[in-house]
Amino acid sequence: MTTPGAPTAYPFPPGRQPATPKTAPEPSGPSEPPSFQSKFLSPINSLYETFQTKRKALDLPSPGIYENLHGEVRNVFPSVMMFDGAKFEIGSVMSQNPAFQVSHQLRWGSAGYPNTYTFNSIFANERSLLRGQIDSDGVLQAIGHYFWIKSPMMAPSEPGSPEQQQQPQPKVQSTSKATAQIVPPDSQGNSMLNLEHDYVGSDFAASLKLINPNPIDAAPQYAGGMGRRLSGKNPQPLWGSSFTGVFVLQYLQSVSKNLALGGEYVLQRIQPEMEDSVFTIVAKYQGKPSVVRQPPPPPPGMPPLMPLDPVYTWTTTFQPSSGVMHTSYHHKLNQRLELAAELQALFGGGRREGIATIGFKAETMFAQIKGSIDTQGKVQAVLEERLAPQLAFTITGEMDYTKPQGGAGRIGVGFQLEA
């Protein structure tokens, strides 16, 4: 017991600490030598990490998916908007979040298209996009997209349309797609199924497509009995089934800020005994983005202006086996005027054929005009004018001078109402 005022008793002299007791070192056994797997994978991992570091330092842009090649030119030419006769469409936006829209379309008076009524519906949210369509002939079409990476809310527009392509998208995308068409037996056309997956990375894009895949088709019967058991009176197939369909693999890689290279491989097996493959090489060059003079804002309902769009884009695809070449050039003069040129040529099999097309697209405050002419003498033009914020008027015209008696023409008139 310590007496008050007495100095404190220390077990050790002041300023000294007790010594830490020394422990005997644990006996260490012999170290295990690195495994063969670590010896083999360590240099590969180091090389991969170095490659990824340099790749990120380049900060290359995404080239976009293969399906959108020549998309700038297709958006300029009026061919995708051409129709003849009369067309009336009325649509209604039922919901904004999630987006849901239905539309009704009537077409009549066409020389090469029967009178048809079509009902169309679109549903979209951050994870999926669904579209269904059925016409008066009983032809049913269904499209489904699933976004594995959440995408911003998209307007209820047609998948792949210019309006949808201008929606802000995440830098990395992973999308699974399915397209089905069911045609009644008494109607023209064929039923089909298309399965697809697109992956868009920071500087590359890859796609895999299966068109009408059938894993339970009959086994192939090759010439000379190859692929069949030869013993016995009734030779049987060695395999119970054979895959048929069309299989497509596509890849694009940015190699610089402006240049992207890639290719497409297509394997066709329409029948088990018939197989054909085609390889296509691709080059796409985009001019440096530049801020062009901003015109007045568009009216309601028109797509937004993109001030950082590339000034020009050059794209070429070539099939070495068949000699088919497709090259296009797109030039954006300003936010209201675009020019495009396209050349499709065949150099294989002793044939030298080609067709060239030039066109333009001009936008005013309330109208859009598209026109094109090709080397075969076909002239096309489309005028789409917005008479009111929810009412659009469309007129199309085509003149084909290759037809006898001075050529043949067709005209189409349409109205689109958003209720």
For 326-372, write each residue's pLDDT tens digit.
999 999 888 789 999 999 999 877 788 999 999 999 988 889 999 99
Mean pLDDT comparison of 94-108, 147-161, 262-276, 307-321, highest-scoring range: 94-108
pLDDT at 269: 85
Q: Is the dihedral of CA 117, 123, 129, 130 positive or negative?
A: negative
Token representation of residue 286? 């985009």
Token representation of residue 78? 């009026």
The H or E element containing residue 72 is: helix 71-76
Check pLDDT > 70 for residue 213: yes
pLDDT at 415: 95
CA-based nearest residue to 411, from 387, 392, 383:
383
Paired with 316 in beta bridges are 283, 327
- Section 280-301 average pLDDT: 73
pLDDT at 152: 61
Mean pLDDT for all residues in the chain: 81
Check pLDDT > 50 for residue 159: no
pLDDT at 30: 57
Check pLDDT > 80 for residue 18: no
Tell me which architecture the domain covering 61-228+237-418 has in CATH. Answer: Beta Barrel (2.40)
Residues 6+ apart with CB under 8 A from 369: 360, 361, 362, 363, 381, 382, 383, 384
Check pLDDT > 90 for residue 7: no
134 touches 169 (CB < 8 A):
no
Check pLDDT > 70 for residue 241: no
Tell me which of 40-44, 54-58, 261-265, 380-384 is least confident.
40-44
- 320/10: higher pLDDT: 320
Relative to beta strand 85-96, strand 408-418 is: parallel
286 touches 258 (CB < 8 A):
yes
User: Cβ of 38: how many Cβ atoms within 10 Å?
Assistant: 10
Token representation of residue 238? 């060695």
Mean pLDDT comparison of 238-247, 268-277, 279-288, 398-407, highest-scoring range: 279-288
Confidence of residue 289 (pLDDT cuts 50, 70, 90): low
User: Cβ of 225: how many Cβ atoms within 10 Å?
Assistant: 10
pLDDT at 299: 59
Give the SS3 label for residue 42: helix
pLDDT at 48: 77
**Residue 226: how many CA atoms within 13 Å on its side-chain side?**
5
**Integer Cα distance of 359 and 78 in angstroms:** 8
Give the SS3 label for residue 90: strand
Q: What residue has token string 């080609």? A: 354
Token representation of residue 21? 């007791």
pLDDT at 96: 87
Q: What residue has token string 């048929």? A: 244
CA-based nearest residue to 303, from 181, 386, 416:
386
pLDDT at 358: 97
pLDDT at 103: 96
- 360/404: higher pLDDT: 360
- Section 127-131 average pLDDT: 94
Confidence of residue 231 (pLDDT cuts 50, 70, 90): very low
Q: What residue has token string 């369909």? A: 245
pLDDT at 39: 67
The H or E element containing residue 282 is: strand 274-286
Residue 117 CA: distances (Å) to CA of 113, 120, 133: 12, 10, 11
Give the SS3 label for residue 79: helix
Tell me which of 132-136, 164-168, 290-294 is least confident.
164-168
pLDDT at 401: 87
pTM: 0.76
- Section 384-408 average pLDDT: 89
Confidence of residue 165 (pLDDT cuts 50, 70, 90): very low
296 burial level (CB within 10 Å; 0-12, 13-18, 19+) = exposed
pLDDT at 298: 60
